[in-house]
Amino acid sequence: MRLPVAILAGGLATRLHPITETIPKALVDVAGMPFILRQLDYLRRQGVSRVVLCVGFLGEQINAAVGDGAALGLSVSYSQDWPKLMGTGGALRQALPLLDSQFLVLYGDSYLPIDFASVEREFLASGKPALMTVQRNADRWDKSNVLFENNVLVEYNKRAPTAEMRHIDYGLGAITANLLADDGTTGPVDLADIYHRLSLSRQLAGYEVHERFYEIGSHKGLAEATEYFRSGGK
């Protein structure tokens, strides 16, 4: 793989209190290992070589645990989104000097058992400025928010999903940097709003995956992820 990966790991993680009152979500223990180390090891095995961690609350603890990534076989750098929270899009905008003109992005609480290289190839071949991986979930894990028909992403709408939507944002995206650099804003911005605008103009490519994702954003999700790894998850 040639694209770097940005990981959004700066949230306050209030749903995981009391665990995350003194440690960031990225360092929550999952089956005997801090979650971020599981993420990074998996990215290395996927062929990723460079990672930018967008950190926020208690981010210095992540830096202390991961360092420059050399011990993990990676090059890891950091972009700070604290104390002024800039939203997911704003955090990525602040990290642009550390990234390339195109990059992959995933959330710091998600573990995605799919082939990242295939997603990268699809993005580069699409000719579109961004790509979203989607999964047909029919409201199973969360509210479906993507209308994906005939391999085309028709609309993504996190804020006002419609009854026709059967897919969900799987959690791995690909972005062209100038979407963020040239958006004309300086304050907080949500990546979901950028994706929504792109989808309405058919500029958001879609890539359907079929493996379920795991997340540690809630106590229920943490329990399911823990069980996944304890039972031999890759």
pLDDT for position 184: 67
User: Where is pLDDT greater, at 212 or 147?
Assistant: 147
Confidence of residue 12 (pLDDT cuts 50, 70, 90): confident
pLDDT for position 100: 96
Residue 186 reports pLDDT greater than 80 = no
CATH of the domain at 34: 3.90.550.10
User: Where is pLDDT greater, at 85 or 55?
Assistant: 55
pLDDT for position 124: 96
Residue 146 reports pLDDT greater than 90 = yes
Structural domains of the chain, count? 1
Residue 62 reports pLDDT greater than 90 = yes
Range of lowest pLDDT (88-92, 163-167, 185-189): 185-189
Closest by Cα among 41, 22, 21, 44 to 31: 41
Which residue range(s) make up the domain with 192?
Answer: 5-230
Contact 224, 233 (CB under 8 A): no
Predicted model pTM:
0.94
